Amino acid sequence: MYLIRGGSRGTGDGGPAATGPPTRLLLTEPIRGLADHAALLLATPVLAAAPRGDGHGVLVVPGLFASDSSTVPLRGFLRWLGYDVRGWDLGRNHGPTDAVLAGLPRAVLDHAERTGRPVSLIGWSLGGVYAREMARRYPRKVRQVITLGSPFALRDVRQSHAHRPFRRLRHLHADEADLPTLEQRARPVSVPSIAVYSRLDGVVAWQACIEPETALHQNVEVRCSHVGFGVDPATLWLIADRLAVPAGQRIPFRPPLALRPLYPR
């Protein structure tokens, strides 16, 4: 099963090497993350009016070094909206270990079987890369994929400040022969997908988190830190809106007039 493989330092197109976010954004991630949490408290009355859907199953996958505890606010919000939501239950995300390669497919299939219909996958950062690969492998079990600051379109490893910590965990990872190249990961998935990105992301270059839009895929920009995706009010509203789209329908995201300032594009 494909999840992620470390890439080369080149772009592969003969052009100049890409770079990660500015250092000032990286260094201010912690304080901006706290601001994102504060914004969630202020936005509670607005989020109370978020769209509600059919209560289908949702699986949330955390980012690198994170565990299900990092997605508690997001999962709590979705549970309050009536969804059958669960975490990945695989502990801390140390990259594509053998345990992840075996456990994540089982989590997706079990949740789909228990709920009786395809599930939506939400992946934060590296978790979004995993989610897309699950959709690629099990398109009939996945209703849609929502990625939050996920570098699935990484052209150069220097586009991510998390690459060095990721490589330091290489001894824990599965054999590289079982993992995809950067080019393989960037290929579109065959289920509806939406990529949420922020130009204020201090960990991953936002250009690595989007792909060309099609009838199945949309990119939506928000304003938050990388560590704030899981609590950012604009992101939460967007997720609620996408989950509420009836199965089989293709309705592009259009924020309500009052919330349009939250979405730069």
Can you give the pTM of this predicted structure? 0.93
Query: Average pLDDT for residues 208-225, to the nearest whole number?
Result: 97
DSSP one-letter string for 116-142? TS-EEEEEETHHHHHHHHHHHH-TTTE
Instruction: Please report the DSSP string for 24-63 in residue order.
Output: HHHHTHHHHHHHHHHHHHHTHHHHTT-------EEEEE--
Q: Which of 108-112, 144-148, 182-186, 248-252 has the lowest mean pLDDT?
A: 182-186
Helix (H) or strand (E) holding 240: helix 233-243
Amino acid at the residue 39: A
Q: At what angle do helices 126-137 and 98-115 cross, to 10 degrees?
A: 60
pLDDT at 31 over 80: yes
Q: What is the arithmetic mean of pLDDT over 77-94?
A: 98
Can you tell me the mean pLDDT for 194-222? 97
Look at residue 73 in the predicted model and tell me its pLDDT.
Answer: 97
Lowest mean pLDDT among 13-27, 30-44, 177-191, 232-246: 13-27
Distance of CA 23 to the CA centre of its chain: 22
Structure tokens at 32: 């901006």
pLDDT score at 75: 98
Lowest mean pLDDT among 14-18, 57-61, 176-180, 198-202: 14-18
User: Helices 29-42 and 233-243, interaxial angle, to 10°?
Assistant: 60
The per-residue pLDDT for 177 is 73
Residues 6+ apart with CB under 8 A from 199: 206, 221, 223, 264
**Quick one: DSSP state of residue 254?**
-
Q: Which residues contact 58 (CB under 8 A, 6 or more apart)?
A: 78, 83, 84, 85, 86, 119, 120, 121, 122, 243
Is it the case that residue 179 has pLDDT exceeding 90?
Answer: no
* pLDDT score of 8: 45
The angle that helices 233-243 and 72-80 make with each other, rounded to 10 degrees, is 50
Q: Which residues contact 140 (CB under 8 A, 6 or more apart)?
A: 118
Q: For the purposes of burial, counting CB atoms within 10 Å of the CB of 261, is it exposed (0-12), middle (13-18) or buried (19 or more)?
A: exposed
Selection from 20, 6, 3 nearest residue 167 by Cα: 6
221-259 as b/e: b if 16+ CB within 10 A = bbbbbbbbbbbbbbbbbbbbbbbebeeeeeeeeeeeeee
Query: For residue range 99-138, what is the model confidence (pLDDT) as tens digits?
Result: 999 999 999 999 999 999 999 999 999 999 999 999 999 9
Tell the burial category of 26 from Cβ atoms under 10 Å away from its Cβ (0-12, 13-18, 19+): middle
Higher pLDDT pick, 2 / 170: 170
Rounded to an integer, what distance in angstroms lies between the CA atom of residue 246 and that of residue 233? 22
